[in-house]
Amino acid sequence: MLPTFVIGLREGLEAALIVGIIASFLGQQGRRDALKKVWLGVGLAVAICVVVAVALQVYSSDLPQRQQEQLETVVGAIAVVMVSYMVLWMRRHSRDLRKDLEGMAGRALSDGSASALVMMAFLAVLREGFETSVFLLATFNESSNPAYGGTGAALGILLAAGIGYGIYRGGVRLNLSRFFRITGVVLVLVAAGLVATAFMTAVEGGWLNQGSQAFDLSWLVRPGTPTSSVVTGVLGIQPYPTWLMVWGWLVYAVPMTAVVLWPARRRTPPKAAPAPGTAPDTGANAAQAG
pLDDT in tens, 102-161: 677 777 766 666 677 778 888 888 887 887 777 777 766 655 566 666 777 788 888 888
- The DSSP call for residue 213 is B
- The DSSP call for residue 133 is H
Backbone angles phi, psi at 242, to 5 degrees: -90, 170
Mean pLDDT of 90-109: 72
| Cα-Cα-Cα-Cα dihedral sign, residues 102, 103, 105, 110 | positive
Measured at the CA of 203, the angle between CA 54 and CA 135, to 5 degrees, comes to 30
Q: How far apart are CA 98 and CA 138, in angstroms?
A: 31
Q: In sequence order, which ranges of the chain are alpha helices (DSSP H)?
A: 2-28, 32-61, 65-93, 97-110, 115-141, 146-169, 176-204, 226-235, 243-261, 283-289
pLDDT digits (tens, 9 = 90+) for 225-262: 667 766 776 677 888 889 999 999 999 999 999 998 88
Mean pLDDT of 196-201: 88
* Amino acid 251: pLDDT: 94
Say whether 91 sits in a helix, a strand or coil: helix
Residue from 137, 146, 237 nearest 192 by CA = 237
Residue 171 reports pLDDT greater than 70: no
Q: How far apart are CA 83 and CA 153, in angstroms?
A: 16
Task: Among 89-103, 109-123, 252-266, 269-283, name the one with the lowest average pLDDT.
Answer: 269-283
Q: C-alpha 223: how far from its chain's center?
A: 29
